[in-house]
A and B are shown apart, each in its own frame.
Chain A
């Protein structure tokens, strides 16, 4: 029997190290910077084990009873830790607190285990044998864990399921010890039922871990994910690599901080700088505040109304430090009014007119967004445009999706506005297109706000020029009742990707 208890040391040691590895790996997986993450997680974990060992001397009375309880708690907390960390990751501000809290609890409990077990076994071995045996099993278990974790467990079970699996082993040890030493234990029945309960819960977690993983899709991003959240409308993910911050909505790149200035300067300045003294500006979409940042470079602008459906987006870009430094805190500017509304419905119901309107919606990849590229929408948009005003629409890539681009242009033209198509090279996107709409004739601007890095009087000439490979004659108008654009878009992008 003593040898069976020693074997449990082996299991315990394996489990303990696995929890440590899970926390370290998850932290570096989710937060990036694996050296820091691993180093701090291991440090905190070992230190907590020290706390546990220290506390063990205060444990008196029925050691076996306490040991089994500790085992069960380790199984529960350690087993669920990966699942908890994955699901709690969205609340990024508190994530580290939670991470180190879990590491501390698990570490402390694991730290309690070995001293307690040694005290339980102290009368059954000679001291030198006891120390030698316990640590032998402990270190062998550690080796096994460190080999199993990267080679077998993570690839085959995944981290969440691995966590539950070792939680089950821990709880199993508790149950086993209970069977072996049942007579020495008070309240054996209570312990047994809680052990069974915890086992059931862990097995349940093990079986359903796919569901837990299915919304922690961090693996599909190239860079480190620093933020991810499912808002009511979309999945928002922000990734970071050295010198580059990227925003993805539903897996589609929205900007890269390296070159977004090219996109936003092109979106805003070609049209806005052509107006003598723009006052009222409307931005539809663009909850990242980057277009607003460009718009605020015009001192004549008195008000900017930003309409973005998703309050999670605008809140994020109003409050998150690295993002507000990117958009220059534009969403907190007193001139800026942020409305979280459905653009079509909002625009149809409002009566104001604007000197400049920037339409920065996601690409027309489904029928629902396709409505925001329809002639009916553009008619409503035209109503909101001041007589001398200019509007601009992001219109996907005229290189990849030629027909889509010219379909947008044609649809806007069908409302009676004059159109001015142009395009810009944005390295992370490729060749990107925009269409200006206005009632009068467009005169390319000569003067721009200070400090632009991409747009100037010379580049505008280039932006307005379309080589042959970006021209298509499209007679179709995208309508609510005949969404040709969505079909073009789907067709052209799927051809390009495959």
Chain B
């Protein structure tokens, strides 16, 4: 990820195009000749920013909150199926995919929102498709076999080389340049701060990355890597368990690493992956980010990524194609319980005001745990397991009439500012093959990690579109003066519960273990059971739950690749 600090062809700031602004002035002269001078003068002295078009979107918090009130009509219809899947995010879709692969078609996926996809949802406007959440997938490492199976199926892996390494379709690999960082007034390549880094910083970088490299390669007594994706397939060895008792910040300090740059970088990575600052995230989880990724590919480097204009929304659309007819959207599941050897899943349709009951042989509960605690009565009676903390996020898609430039390294896929409280922005048109895209959409990510999740969530839901726009524009203007002039639209998505935060003790704790246990015929599948909110974990949990169901149904499973 760290690249040499070269600077290539500085591009201009997205200042208003000189021609256009001149024409504007010219038009003003004409206007001035026609209208009283006073009006012209007023135009200059009283130039307020125009309101930015756009709106707030977001997971249906309102519908979801109906659960709190808990009053739903009794079921007016009963349907039967073999498996009911609650939640159409990556886990639920993957569970469905796995059932399909094993020729099971008697299942239903119940999704609260208007569209399946969960945190990997995406949108589209006239300029481009763009992500609303997860936006990339690292090249899968040795353990992530189900990810590879999926990628083979959808043509991202085109085959295997003579060495047995997967060959990727290069159009899906994140194009160069991948990342840049705005630091001390100009853009540098890569996200590890280089501009102004002293020998102490560099020394600590070296130590840090070589330690991470060691963690990446090291295997436990069972021959498995300590840090693996999916996490469940890592070593059972207890060697590094202690790291889960301290925070990532404490870990750096224990090692006597004090470089501000290193601390910034590691903190950035925690905010990026977990939506929480490094003084809240477990060191084990923090290290997992660096040590677990070990992509294997014939034609890409281990740290390379797969990405699409709509981010992981592309993967969602691939998965959705396979399970589409069985998805039911706008289905607010309000009760899931075992009864008489069956699972009853009651769901409410906010449009018709009716509740439908699905009577299934099995259920896969693929919604977040905080929802499960509320609607699976057996869980509640068992005593709520660890309250998992969920971080709220704000994601904005900003349409621009010209590409953002800046001094130093050129526009990259991921563009980060050192001083920003947000994570920066990703360029939706980055993978385009067009020579000169004129307009673009940038996806701006802001984990609301400045305060505790509950108050941050409350604050976020109260903010108006105008307030969000002001925040976003003020932040972007620090790296791109004049960007306000080229903004055409800002849509904002507030994720109240974007991802589970792996706080110290969670990953190695007993609560997490308990979360994985089925309740009667209800199997659980969600990335928050791993504590690492990534596609691979969500998919793994979904596939694993589908496998349990298939086993219980007595179906011989297809175990290829």
Q: Of A204, A342, A479, A491, which contacts B435 at CB under 8 A?
A: A342
Q: Of B26, B32, B170, which contacts A376 at CB under 8 A?
A: B170
CB-defined contacts of B29 to chain A, threshold 8 Å: 80, 201, 204-205
CB-defined contacts of A322 to chain B, threshold 8 Å: none
Q: Closest A residue to B37 by CB, please name it.
A: A197
- Taking A369-B435, A371-B433 as contacts, is the C-beta distance between A215 and B37 under 8 angstroms? no
Say whether chain A's binding surface is mostly helix, strand, loop, or mixed.
helix
CB-defined contacts of B176 to chain A, threshold 8 Å: 367, 370, 479-483, 486
Contact with A along B24-48 (1 / 0, CB 8 A): 0110110011001100110000000
- Taking A481-B176, A482-B301 as contacts, is the C-beta distance between A232 and B436 under 8 angstroms? yes
Q: Closest B residue to A208 by CB, please name it.
A: B25
CB-defined contacts of B36 to chain A, threshold 8 Å: 193
Contact with A along B408-428 (1 / 0, CB 8 A): 001000000000000000000
Q: Of B37, B175, B304, which contacts A367 at CB under 8 A?
A: B175
Q: Of B6, B19, B435, which contacts A343 at CB under 8 A?
A: B435
CB-based contact A366/B33 at 8 Å = no
Tell me the smallest distance from the CB of A254 to a CB of chain B, in Å. 16
Q: Of A80, A342, A479, which contacts B433 at CB under 8 A?
A: A342
3 closest A-B pairs by beta carbon, nearest first, are A481-B173, A344-B433, A483-B176
- Complex interface residues of chain A between 357 and 377 (CB less than 8 A to chain B): 365-372, 374-376
CB-based contact A367/B301 at 8 Å = no
- Complex interface residues of chain B between 315 and 346 (CB less than 8 A to chain A): none
| Interface flag for A212 (CB, 8 Å) | yes
CB-based contact B41/A87 at 8 Å = no
- Complex interface residues of chain B between 1 and 24 (CB less than 8 A to chain A): 6, 8-9, 18-19, 21-22
CB-based contact A208/B22 at 8 Å = yes
CB-defined contacts of B300 to chain A, threshold 8 Å: 481
CB-defined contacts of A193 to chain B, threshold 8 Å: 36-37
- A sample of 14 more A-B contacts (CB under 8 A), given A212-B18, A479-B176, A482-B176, is A87-B26, A197-B32, A201-B32, A201-B33, A208-B22, A215-B19, A233-B436, A344-B434, A345-B433, A345-B434, A348-B433, A367-B177, A481-B176, A487-B6
Q: Closest A residue to B403 by CB, please name it.
A: A368
CB-based contact A483/B174 at 8 Å = no
- Taking A371-B175, A481-B300, A481-B304 as contacts, is the C-beta distance between A232 and B37 under 8 angstroms? no
CB-based contact A366/B433 at 8 Å = no
- Complex interface residues of chain B between 288 and 331 (CB less than 8 A to chain A): 299-301, 304
CB-based contact A479/B170 at 8 Å = yes
CB-defined contacts of B18 to chain A, threshold 8 Å: 211-212, 214-215
A479 to B37, alpha carbons, bound, how many Å? 58
| Interface flag for B200 (CB, 8 Å) | no
Tell me the smallest distance from the CB of B272 to a CB of chain A, in Å. 20
CB-based contact A483/B435 at 8 Å = no
| Interface flag for A143 (CB, 8 Å) | no
CB-defined contacts of B19 to chain A, threshold 8 Å: 87, 215, 230
Tell me the smallest distance from the CB of A169 to a CB of chain B, in Å. 18
- Taking A208-B25, A345-B434, A369-B435 as contacts, is the C-beta distance between A375 and B170 under 8 angstroms? yes
Chain A: residues with Cβ within 8 Å of the partner, total of 43
| Interface flag for A333 (CB, 8 Å) | no
| Interface flag for A200 (CB, 8 Å) | yes
A212 to B25, alpha carbons, bound, how many Å? 10
Q: Closest B residue to A84 by CB, please name it.
A: B26
| Interface flag for B171 (CB, 8 Å) | yes
CB-defined contacts of B436 to chain A, threshold 8 Å: 232-233, 309, 342, 368
Q: Closest B residue to A347 by CB, please name it.
A: B433
A496 to B403, alpha carbons, bound, how many Å? 30
Tell me the smallest distance from the CB of A256 to a CB of chain B, in Å. 24
CB-defined contacts of B21 to chain A, threshold 8 Å: 211
CB-defined contacts of B258 to chain A, threshold 8 Å: none
CB-defined contacts of A486 to chain B, threshold 8 Å: 8, 176
Q: Closest B residue to A234 by CB, please name it.
A: B436
Q: Closest B residue to A361 by CB, please name it.
A: B435
CB-defined contacts of B299 to chain A, threshold 8 Å: 479
A287 to B435, alpha carbons, bound, how many Å? 15
| Interface flag for A490 (CB, 8 Å) | yes
Tell me the smallest distance from the CB of A120 to a CB of chain B, in Å. 27
| Interface flag for B217 (CB, 8 Å) | no
Q: Closest B residue to A375 by CB, please name it.
A: B170
| Interface flag for B458 (CB, 8 Å) | no
| Interface flag for B551 (CB, 8 Å) | no
Which of A's residues lie within 8 Å of B, judged by CB?
A: 80, 87, 193, 196-197, 200-201, 204-205, 208, 211-212, 214-215, 230, 232-233, 309, 342-345, 348, 365-372, 374-376, 479-483, 486-487, 490-491
A205 to B26, alpha carbons, bound, how many Å? 9
Interface residues on B, range: 20 to 34
CB-defined contacts of B26 to chain A, threshold 8 Å: 87
A481 to B300, alpha carbons, bound, how many Å? 8
Tell me the smallest distance from the CB of A379 to a CB of chain B, in Å. 9
Show 20 A/B contacts (Cβ-Cβ < 8 Å), sorted by A: A87-B22, A193-B36, A197-B32, A197-B37, A201-B33, A204-B28, A204-B29, A208-B22, A208-B25, A215-B18, A232-B438, A342-B435, A344-B434, A368-B435, A368-B436, A370-B176, A371-B433, A483-B175, A486-B176, A491-B6
Q: Of B8, B41, B434, which contacts A366 at CB under 8 A?
A: B8
CB-defined contacts of B173 to chain A, threshold 8 Å: 479-481
CB-defined contacts of B175 to chain A, threshold 8 Å: 367, 371, 480-481, 483
Which of B's residues lie within 8 Å of A, judged by CB?
A: 6, 8-9, 18-19, 21-22, 25-26, 28-29, 32-33, 36-37, 40-41, 170-171, 173-177, 299-301, 304, 410, 433-436, 438
Q: Closest B residue to A342 by CB, please name it.
A: B434
A148 to B337, alpha carbons, bound, how many Å? 93
CB-defined contacts of A232 to chain B, threshold 8 Å: 436, 438
CB-based contact A204/B37 at 8 Å = no
CB-defined contacts of B433 to chain A, threshold 8 Å: 342, 344-345, 348, 371
Q: Closest A residue to B176 by CB, please name it.
A: A483
Tell me which of B22, B170, B174 has the highest count of chain A C-beta atoms within 10 A of its own C-beta. B22
A483 to B170, alpha carbons, bound, how many Å? 12
CB-defined contacts of B8 to chain A, threshold 8 Å: 366, 486-487, 490
Tell me the smallest distance from the CB of A226 to a CB of chain B, in Å. 20
Tell me the smallest distance from the CB of A407 to a CB of chain B, in Å. 14
Q: Of B9, B28, B40, B438, which contacts A490 at CB under 8 A?
A: B9
Tell me the smallest distance from the CB of B295 to a CB of chain A, in Å. 12
CB-defined contacts of B410 to chain A, threshold 8 Å: 366-367
Tell me which of B6, B8, B32, B171 has the highest count of chain A C-beta atoms within 10 A of its own C-beta. B8
Tell me the smallest distance from the CB of B485 to a CB of chain A, in Å. 13
CB-based contact A481/B170 at 8 Å = yes
CB-defined contacts of A344 to chain B, threshold 8 Å: 433-435
CB-defined contacts of A309 to chain B, threshold 8 Å: 435-436
A491 to B7, alpha carbons, bound, how many Å? 10
CB-based contact B22/A212 at 8 Å = yes
A13 to B195, alpha carbons, bound, how many Å? 58
CB-defined contacts of A487 to chain B, threshold 8 Å: 6, 8
CB-based contact A200/B41 at 8 Å = yes
CB-defined contacts of A479 to chain B, threshold 8 Å: 170, 173, 176, 299
CB-defined contacts of B41 to chain A, threshold 8 Å: 200
Q: Closest B residue to A483 by CB, please name it.
A: B176
A193 to B301, alpha carbons, bound, how many Å? 70
Q: Closest B residue to A380 by CB, please name it.
A: B433
Tell me the smallest distance from the CB of B149 to a CB of chain A, in Å. 22
CB-based contact B9/A480 at 8 Å = no
CB-based contact A483/B177 at 8 Å = yes
CB-based contact A197/B25 at 8 Å = no
- Taking A208-B25, A211-B21 as contacts, is the C-beta distance between A200 and B40 under 8 angstroms? yes
Tell me the smallest distance from the CB of A359 to a CB of chain B, in Å. 13
CB-defined contacts of B170 to chain A, threshold 8 Å: 374-376, 479-481
A42 to B16, alpha carbons, bound, how many Å? 38
A367 to B435, alpha carbons, bound, how many Å? 9
A480 to B174, alpha carbons, bound, how many Å? 8
CB-defined contacts of A212 to chain B, threshold 8 Å: 18, 22
A468 to B413, alpha carbons, bound, how many Å? 39
